[in-house]
């Protein structure tokens, strides 16, 4: 929203050369409804169900999914480089640590 407000004064300087067709308009609406609105509903549902710590760990997995979707849908190569392997390992380790520590704390509180 704030990005749109900041760009409004620049709009007269960069007028489009043609009007977007119905496919483009429907695609943008579909992305707004499905990708943004539905994602927020699921996100806040997860916060309520499993707590904020475990919900935030979902965002750490985005690079791994980006690599996977790029490989499957865009046929991008997965290189076995040190940086890619190290990055994936650090993401998985951090996610496991965050969830493991949270689970151990929950279990120790239940024992009391």
pLDDT of residue 105: 55
pLDDT at site 48: 92
* Contact in structure between 56 and 68 (CB atoms under 8 Å): no
Q: What is the pLDDT, as a whole number, of residue 26?
A: 92
Residue 69: predicted pLDDT: 87
pLDDT in tens, the chain (112 residues): 688 788 889 988 988 888 999 999 999 888 888 878 888 888 899 899 988 877 877 777 788 888 888 889 899 887 777 777 788 888 888 878 877 765 555 555 555 5
pLDDT of amino acid 81: 75
* 66-to-35, 59, 76, 77 alpha-carbon distances in Å: 15, 11, 11, 12
Question: Which ranges of 15-81 does DSSP label H, i.e. alpha helix?
Answer: 22-30, 39-50, 52-60, 62-74
Among 50, 58, 68, smallest CA distance to 91 is for 58
């Amino acid at each position: 929203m704030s990005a749109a407000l900041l760009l409004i004064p620049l709009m007269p300087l960069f007028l489009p050369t043609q009007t977007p067709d119905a496919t483009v308009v429907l695609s943008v609406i579909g992305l707004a409804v499905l990708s943004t609105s539905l994602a927020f509903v699921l996100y806040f549902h997860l916060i309520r169900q499993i707590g904020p710590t475990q919900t935030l760990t979902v965002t750490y997995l985005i690079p791994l999914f980006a690599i996977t979707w790029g490989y499957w849908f865009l046929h991008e190569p997965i290189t076995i480089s040190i940086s890619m392997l190290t990055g994936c390992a650090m993401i998985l380790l951090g996610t496991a640590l965050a969830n493991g520590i949270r689970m151990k704390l929950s279990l120790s509180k239940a024992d009391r």
